[in-house]
Amino acid sequence: MIVAKPVVPNQYWILKDGDRKIGNIQAEPGGFAVKINNHIERYKNISTIKRKVAIDFEKTVRQEPVTEPGNEIYGYPTTHRPYNAIYDVRHQVPLWTRESRSKSWSAAGWYRVRQGRAWTVVECPKLIVLERYPYQGPFRTQAEAQSVWHSTSIASSIDCVRRKIDSREILCCLSMMLEIYKPTSLDCY
């Protein structure tokens, strides 16, 4: 029996008879081209190929991204192989460098960093970014960092109300909380 192993899901398959490659199937605009031993035949759909050529299609298995076991420190992921791993007590973040002799430090994990009015989710930012801008983290996953967004938005809006502010700033704070108005730098200060 001929077995079709997917290379690109729903686009390209390699045909094997046992351990020997005998051809391929390739998606085309009008259907599929089946090439077996340098002979090409065209079919409209995969069910027709299964019926007429007797090909067994293997299921496409979705593979989860594999993180290398060495690419994390203190339980937080890193984007590269970490060197010089330390825990910064002052900032309360795990730090690492990309090379053994590097002087540029990165923080392990996912962070929410506020630059201007916007919070962005960043993986492994440099330490200097965390020193310059307000941040939240570290988080172990991107989804965990993004889930904090809603509670942060409300908390920052409530913080506006706690301070002594004038009417223009109240308008800006309330509109940010309701997300109906995007104030400009001239409106709010």
Are 77 and 66 contacting, i.e. CB atoms less than 8 angstroms apart? no
Residue 11 DSSP code:
T
Tokens matching residue 2: 């001929």
Name the pTM for this structure. 0.47
Tokens matching residue 179: 């997300």
Amino acid occupying residue 121: V
Cα–Cα distance for residue pair 170/180, rounded to 1 Å: 14
Are 133 and 114 contacting, i.e. CB atoms less than 8 angstroms apart? yes
Beta-strand relationship, 118-123 and 110-115: antiparallel
The per-residue pLDDT string of the chain (189 residues; one tens digit each, 9 = 90 and over) reads 788 888 887 888 899 988 889 999 998 888 999 998 889 999 998 888 888 888 888 876 655 545 556 788 988 999 999 999 999 988 899 999 999 999 999 999 999 999 888 899 999 999 999 999 999 999 999 989 888 754 555 555 444 444 445 556 666 666 666 655 455 545 554
Amino acid occupying residue 21: K
Domain borders along the chain are 2-57, 72-147, 149-189
